[in-house]
Amino acid sequence: MHKMQKSKSRFMTLKETAEYLHCSPSLLYKYTATSKIPHVRLGGKILFEISKIERYIEDNTIKVQY
């Protein structure tokens, strides 16, 4: 998985995070509604901290044994 390019913000919107994870915004919204993915609600917006999303990916990666 590639690292997110450095940006001024350490947060991504729901749409940006869906693009980053290659999933639909509706699936990501369902994950936030059931607290399956770390997120912050701020002023009616759902935001995702980049470092926590990267940790979420690492923690949920299935290890393959060769």
Residue 50 near residue 65, CB atoms below 8 Å: no
Phi, psi of 27 (to 5 degrees): -65, -45
pTM of the shown model: 0.79
pLDDT for 9: 75
pLDDT digits (tens, 9 = 90+) for 17-54: 999 999 999 999 999 999 999 999 999 999 999 999 99
46 three-class SS: strand
Q: Angle at Cα 56 formed by Cα 1 and Cα 35, nearest 5°?
A: 140
Tell which wins on pLDDT, 5 or 41: 41
The residues spanned by each domain of the chain are: 11-59
